Amino acid sequence: MRPFLLCVLPFVSHLAWAVPISVITVLTSGPSSTQSTLNTTSSPSNTSSTQTITVLPLGDSITFGIGSNDLNSYRQFLQTRLADDGVDIDYIGSVRSGIMTDNDNEGHSGATIDQVSAFADGILLQRPQVVTLLAGTNDVALNRDLANAPNRLIQLVDKIALTSPNTTILVGSLTPLPFFNRQGAVDRFNAALQGLVLEKASAGQSVVWVSMAAIVNADLADGVHPNAVGYVKMGQAWASGFLSAVQNGLIK
């Protein structure tokens, strides 16, 4: 049995488009604009329709799926959405959560950035083609070294790139955190992290910024974790970033 980590809620606390700047940065303001962007980023011609792309969903309880009754998180919608565009993906990870058939992931409830980084060590040896990375909510909720939190997440990005050089990393922004009344800290974290990610992309690193701005307080189940609607919006954002990365040749 895996050890149960930090809980900052009575529930499990933890967290969870894009355009490579070289590249991409996809931003969303709501469901309709998200869908519109998705429709314009389809037909990923740079990958074979018969190719299966390995994807590592990496993060905390949002990646695990807390807040959704089926625990599928954004993973089910993302997989289905990409399949509609002829892109088959295979999730990998040491964790199993959700009623979906392919429920592998690396989402650990209560994990901070440093803990997510430690959990990633083993699974990165499988050299996933894509990582969907969302971490930092627990750091913000616990006020843990917030001044350096974005840099610590970028250090994880660098570690992924060093361990698996051909991996494309999709980095998601934090979703709202009204339960802890920490939205100001969330906004500062996201702004700093976006700048660091775009610097990496400009330097040629295969990293994409994925904004979760379409998710609002009403899309949360408990003030921390997305509800079913929130996870769909999150899946839309990941899909947009993923397809943009494919079109720009970042995912092969």
Cα gap 185→190, rounded to integer Å: 9
pLDDT at 12 over 50: no
Across the range 95-117, mean pLDDT stands at: 98
Q: What is the pLDDT of residue 14?
A: 36
Nearest Cα residue to 189 out of 171, 214, 207:
171
Per-residue pLDDT tens over the stretch 83-94: 999 999 999 999
CATH of the domain at 42: 3.40.50.1110
218 lies in some domain: yes
Would you say the C-alpha torsion 203, 206, 207, 210 has a positive or negative sign? Answer: positive
Q: What is the pLDDT of residue 51?
A: 81
Residue 38 pLDDT level (bands cut at 50, 70, 90): very low
Mean confidence (pLDDT) of the chain: 86
More confident residue, 223 or 25: 223
9 lies in some domain: no
Do the beta carbons of residue 19 and residue 208 sit within 8 Å? yes
Q: What is the pLDDT of residue 252?
A: 75
187 lies in some domain: yes
Residue 50 pLDDT level (bands cut at 50, 70, 90): low
145 lies in some domain: yes
39 lies in some domain: yes
Task: Tell me which residue range forms the domain holding 194.
Answer: 25-247
Domain total for the chain? 1
Cα gap 61→55, rounded to integer Å: 17
